[in-house]
């Protein structure tokens, strides 16, 4: 079990959406929280509102994540929980995407997690009591949809990275544990992700505020996801899905995988003499 009360927790993408919800839930559970975000104005406002520390970061840059860690260590002397949550989610059909589209999503969604692990894992492992890493993926890591190819690719990668990390830490007897957070639809502003895209880059990705066109009756609020995240951290769960009713989507995909395995049985030809 991972204790949350009294621990120092860092949440990237913490100035809005799921990150904010997790930060609030960690704070309510007694953690000292540091939110990190690329948007300075939002960061300042949310840090003040929640009564937590705020540090600007660009997770796509390793040196920025390292500076975040240095700042937290200087101020609090330790880090116990890290939530690699920052991400972007515009849509676009693969045939329309540019290399720059792919690079942006990979840099933020995947390398943001990679940088967080590379910088913070040694810090957590140096703690006498270890610590916890949570990486935010998506339901799209289990059931990808059309127009979400690039986004899903990054979330598949985050899912695989986290699952392997959790297994490796367990095999090594580490006191650090890892959780994959896999949100379904949540009422956030991820539909306007392009506001944080580097200036001048235009490709085949388009923002889409899906909540304006879809039935949102089963969408969660960020604070609800925050409570799920904290429960998963406290329980050291390797996977924290937010919408158990969506298991049918994952099952349908795995049924197709199983059928494919059955269609191509293993055939070994005996050597001829």
Q: What is the pLDDT of residues 121-177, one digit of tens each?
A: 999 999 999 999 999 999 999 999 999 999 999 999 999 999 999 999 999 999 999
32 has which bridge partners?
8
* Domains defined for the chain, CATH in brackets: 8-246 (3.40.50.720)
- Token couple for 43: 């960061």
The pLDDT tens digits for 187-207 are 998 888 989 888 767 789 989
pLDDT for residue 270: 76
Dist CA 162 CA 109 (whole Å): 13
Residue 30 has pLDDT above 80, yes or no: yes
Rounded mean pLDDT, 73-96? 97
pLDDT-derived band of residue 45, with 50, 70 and 90 as boundaries?
very high
Ramachandran class of 24: left when φ > 0, alpha when ψ lies in -120 to 50, beta otherwise = alpha
Confidence of residue 11 (pLDDT cuts 50, 70, 90): very high
- pLDDT for residue 93: 97
Tokens representing residue 212 in the block: 């304006």
Number of neighbours of residue 242 by Cβ within 10 angstroms: 21
Both tokens of residue 120? 């913070």
Helices assigned H by DSSP within 172-265: 222-235, 247-263
Count how many Cα atoms sit within 13 Å of the Cα of residue 197 in the half-sphere of its side chain: 23
CB-based contact 207:189 (threshold 8 Å): no
pLDDT of residue 215: 86
264 noted as active-site residue: no
Catalytic member of 151, 246, 261, 264: 151
With a pLDDT cut of 90, the percent of the chain lying above it is 86
pLDDT of residue 200: 66
Nearest to 60 by CA among 15, 10, 114: 114
Among candidates 8, 22, 9, 111, which has minimal Cα distance to 59? 111
Mean pLDDT of the chain: 95
The structure's pTM equals: 0.94
Rg value, the chain, Cα: 19
């Amino acid at each position: 079990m991972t204790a949350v009360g009294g621990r120092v927790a860092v949440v990237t993408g913490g100035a809005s959406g799921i990150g904010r919800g997790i930060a609030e839930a960690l704070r309510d559970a007694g953690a000292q929280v540091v939110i990190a975000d690329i948007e300075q104005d939002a960061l300042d406002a949310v840090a003040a509102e929640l009564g937590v520390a705020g540090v600007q970061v660009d997770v796509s840059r390793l040196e920025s994540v390292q500076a975040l860690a240095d700042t937290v260590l200087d101020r609090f002397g330790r880090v116990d929980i890290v939530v690699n949550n920052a991400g972007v989610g515009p849509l676009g059909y693969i045939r329309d995407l540019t290399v720059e589209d792919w690079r942006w999503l990979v840099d933020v969604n995947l390398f943001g997690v990679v940088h967080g692990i590379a910088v913070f894992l040694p810090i957590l492992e140096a703690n006498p009591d270890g610590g916890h890493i949570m990486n935010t993926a998506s339901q799209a890591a289990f059931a990808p949809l059309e127009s979400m190819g690039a986004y899903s690719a990054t979330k598949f990668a985050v899912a695989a990275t986290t699952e392997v990390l959790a297994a490796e830490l367990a095999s090594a007897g580490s006191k650090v544990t890892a959780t994959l957070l896999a949100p379904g639809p949540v009422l956030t502003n991820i539909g306007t992700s392009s506001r944080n895209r580097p200036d001048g880059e235009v490709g085949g990705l388009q923002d889409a505020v899906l909540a304006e066109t879809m039935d949102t009756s089963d969408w969660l609020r960020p604070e609800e996801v925050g409570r799920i995240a904290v429960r998963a951290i406290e329980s050291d769960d390797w996977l924290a899905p937010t919408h158990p009713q969506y298991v049918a989507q994952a099952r349908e995909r795995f049924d197709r995988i199983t059928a494919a395995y059955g269609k191509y049985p293993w055939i070994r030809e005996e050597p001829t003499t």
